[in-house]
Amino acid sequence: MEKFIIATFLFIGSFAAQAQEGLTWHTNIDEAIAVSKVENKPLFLFFTGSDWCGWCIRLQKEVFKTPEFTTWAKEKVVLVELDFPRRTPQSDAIKMQNNLLQQFFQIRGYPSVRLAKAGVATDGKTSFELLGETGYGAGGPNAWLKGPEQMVTKFVPYTDDEQKAAKKALKKKKTADKKA
């Protein structure tokens, strides 16, 4: 009986680990935008306080670390984590990027999720088209995903030119990363 219990715990543990397997949470918005354009998917921007926000941790546990979310996210969105930790160190560049995005999307509390399409404004700077917003909601992954699923339907695909430019940018970045 003891072996059965241990085997059950190992199975459940491996199942939970598989739920996050293959998910990429980008922290660099420029890279995430390029991937978004190449894959022709909207950005899923998760504003969190990973080491202090109880509701953020709960959303991660109840939704983001489930097989249902993993399957949905792989197919539908490019994940971006914009973290505002209190104890975990971050580079100044990431702090500045996250603060700018927090101001742009007018984040007032955590967790906050925004779905958006990246574009370029007339002044050449990155702009975003907001597709929708949400936060924590009880009910598990299937209930929670109803909101983001409606937001994804508002996404208008990128043009071929936008996709080609993004592919070039990603290729250039990978080449530069190899040299560094």
Q: Is the pLDDT of residue 16 over 90?
A: no
Q: Which domains does the chain have, with CATH numbers?
A: 24-179 (3.40.30.10)
Q: What is the pTM of this model?
A: 0.85
User: Can you give the pLDDT at residue 21?
Assistant: 64
User: pLDDT, tens digit, for every residue of 74-115?
Assistant: 999 999 999 999 999 999 999 999 999 999 999 999 999 999
DSSP SS3 for 78:
strand
21: number of CA atoms within 13 Å, CB side? 7
Q: What is the mean pLDDT of the chain?
A: 89
DSSP state of 29: H
Per-residue confidence band for 44, with pLDDT thresholds at 50, 70 and 90 = very high
CA distance 101 to 27: 12
Q: Is 103 exposed, middle or buried (0-12, 13-18, 19+ CB in 10 A)?
A: exposed
